[in-house]
Structure 1
Amino acid sequence: MTTTTTGVPRTPTTAASAAPGRTTRRPGTGTVLRWEIAKLVAQARSRYALLVCLIAPIAIVLVFNGQQQSPSDTLFGRQVHTSGYGAPLFILTFGSQWIFPILAALVGGDIFANEDQHGTWKTILTRSVTRSQIFWAKTLTATLFTVVSMAVLAASAIGSSLLFIGTQPLVGLGGQLIPSGTALPLVVACWATALAPQIGFTALAILLSVKTRNPAAGVAAPVAIGLVMQLVGTLGGIDLTRQFLLTTPLESWHGLLAEHPFHGPLEFGLAVSAAWTAVCLAGAYVALRRRDITGG
């Protein structure tokens, strides 16, 4: 222990306080992303949603496998008993109409509005993180949930169908017989085509979550918009409008199973999905940057 010129002992604490202060390192976007993923994993709703994605296809396959009748009025519904590749395509057709928008909006529509509901924006922003970091961390978290939920749903549908029904050849849309070795990668590719429009629906849900500041509206509105798009897509005389709807790319996998495969609708659907994603995320980002969060 040393003494100062005035005779006051200089303790280590005094010396440390006299030393130049160390700069605290600001958390990066990766750190914020880990926070958001940890919060998502802790939510029972997200865990239950993934559990449903795992169990529901198995239950559907078992029900159809135990029945004599098949949903013959639905695409590939006639083959749910004759090929293990028919049921996953039937589930894909049904899911694109009713289920996929719900999965996309379940987290995306709540992840921003939930902070408004609990008044935690000021708390988050006092952690030395920027609004941009928060925005991209939450956006990546919502997108990750969408991708994981789709992967679980696809794996469950394909795996359970092959296990309980078999690996019989699949009859394509042109009446051609597709052998098992070719049918499996084609079915996986068909499911993969749904990812781009699903991410587009997630971006739409994020935009509504930021703009409405209401979790219920953020989750329900994208689902309602998806149903309206489905209805508009069934109307005649509006083919040009239909091409730019976010639900239309969910049908682009049909070209992969034609007798002579074509990829035009798939490529155009990817562009449409990318445009929806970019516009919605840009709108959400600008709205969040301009928002006054001083009230909570």
Structure 2
Amino acid sequence: MTTATLAPAARTDVRRREASLGDAIRWETRKLRAQLRSKALLIGSLVAPIAVVVVVGAQSRPPKDSLFGRFSTVNGFAMALLVLGFASQWILPLVTAVVAGDIFASEDQHGTWKTVLTRSVSRSRLFWAKVVVAIVFGLLALVLLAAATIGASLLIVGHGPLIGLSGQVIQPSTALPLVAASWATMAPPLVAFTCLALLFSVWSRNAAVGIAAPVVIAMVMQLVGSLGGVEAIRPYLLTTPFEAWHGLLAEPRFTGPILDGAATSAVWAAVSLLAAFLVVRHRDITGG
């Protein structure tokens, strides 16, 4: 009787606790922290803006083909917005895709799907853990880029009154929160591009495709958005929200494009995550 009584308890004691979502997030975070590529990207997010500000600030002729370029060598706020305009077009989709485009594909590359899914963690929890880690990493890179750019611009170039898009003079006490808010408007489209990179990472099972595809799509959308006669589809392009910050520097200020951009980004993110989740749910991992 004693053996029969203790047997179920023994089986219960040796049964492993199912990993929670928090456990899976901590596990994925440790994996990401161990990658040299992710560390280099965060360091680059801090160092690269400083180098750009130094180089542009040393130019005798400022870049006059951009919204704030003509004032960038004499005004730190204009310099920060000049860098923002460049980063939103070419840098931000790449920054977030470097991690998001690899986070699922790496499991295929190393043949570790079977291993990670037999460690008392469900597919759903593993999926959402990777999503959370990729999104947080992208937002962290954005914060570092913004802080380094604004800080370096104000320290190196100066912090005098800013000339707005309507020709109005914006005092430094008002310009600083407006510039910070302009950088903050990058968050919704950045998250959407992260989700798009996650989808390509899941679908292609190839890190190169997961990283390159969102960047190529961003370039194509930038090109399409710059063409004439595309006003009907332009609000639905994922690159359009990157330009929504312009309304904050106009007089009177308007936030309609920011709200529309957030809605567009939310739709892109939701569709991408739904498609990626369905692929993961139906993935055959018997081969590794």
Letter aligned with residue 175 of structure 1: G
Gaps spanning 5+ residues in structure 1: where?
5-9
Alpha-carbon shift at residue 74 of structure 1 (Å):
1.2
Equivalent position to 1:56, from 45, 48, 51: 48
Residue 112 of structure 2 corresponds to 120
Q: Which has the higher helix share?
A: 2
**Structure-1 separation of matches of 2:257 and 2:58:** 36
Match of 1:29 in 2: 21
The residue aligned with 2:215 is 223
Pair 1:45-2:34 in alignment: no
The CA deviation at 1:217 is: 0.4
**Other-structure match for 2:261:** 269
Q: Does 1:164 align with 2:156?
A: yes
State the Cα distance separating 1:240 from its structure 2 match: 1.4
- The aligned counterpart of 1:7 is none
Structure 2 counterpart of 1:77, one-letter code: G
CA-to-partner distance for each residue in 1:103-122, whole Å, 9 max, x for gaps?
Answer: 12111110001100100000
Deviates further, 257-266 or 16-25: 16-25
The 8 Å contact of residues 76 and 153 in structure 2, kept in 1 or not, is answered as: yes
The residue that corresponds to 2:239 in the other structure is 247
| Residue identity opposite 2:216 in structure 1 | A
For residues 135 and 239 of structure 2, the distance between their equivalents in structure 1, rounded to whole angstroms, comes to: 18
Equivalent position to 1:76, from 54, 68, 83: 68
AA in 2 matched with 1:258: A
CA distance in structure 2 between the aligned counterparts of 1:61 and 1:226, rounded to whole angstroms: 25
Q: How many residues align?
A: 285
**Deviation by residue 1:199-235 (Cα, 9 ceiling, x = unmatched):** 0000000001000000000000110000000000011
Q: Which of residues 103, 109, 113 in structure 2 aligns to 1:111?
A: 103
**CA shift for structure 1 position 156:** 0.2
Greater Cα radius of gyration, structure 1 or 2: 1
- Residue by residue over 1:233-266, the C-alpha shift from the partner in whole angstroms, topping out at 9 and shown as x without a partner, is 0111111111100000000000010011011111
Q: What TM-score do you get using the length of structure 1 for normalisation?
A: 0.93
Partner of 2:58: 66
Q: Are residue 260 (structure 1) and residue 234 (structure 2) matched?
A: no
What SS is found at the alignment partner of 2:233? helix
Q: Distance in 1 between matches of 2:107 and 2:145?
A: 29
Displacement of 1:270 in angstroms is 0.5
Give 1:24 shift.
3.1
Give the Cα separation in 2 of the matches to 1:36 and 1:19: 33
TM-score by length of 2: 0.96
How many Å separate the matches in 1 of 2:5 and 2:198?
Answer: 47
- Partner amino acid, structure 1, of 2:9: P
Which of 150, 162, 173 lines up with 1:181 in the alignment? 173
Return the letter of the residue paired with 1:215: A
Match of 1:87 among 79, 82, 85: 79
Aligned mates of 1:176, 1:18 — CA distance in 2: 80
From 9, 16, 41, the equivalent of 1:20 is: 9
Cα distance, 1:185 vs. partner? 0.2
The answer to whether the aligner puts 1:130 opposite 2:119 as a matched pair is no
Determine what percentage of the aligned residue pairs are the same residue.
Answer: 53
Which runs of structure 1 show a deviation greater than 4 angstroms over 4 or more consecutive aligned residues? 14-19
How big is the alpha-carbon RMSD for the aligned residues of Structure 1 and Structure 2?
A: 1.6
The equivalent residue for 1:293 is 285
Cα distance in 2, alignment partners of residues 237 and 249 from structure 1:
19
Give 1:197's aligned residue.
189
- Cα shift at 1:65: 2.1
Deviation at 1:67?
2.0
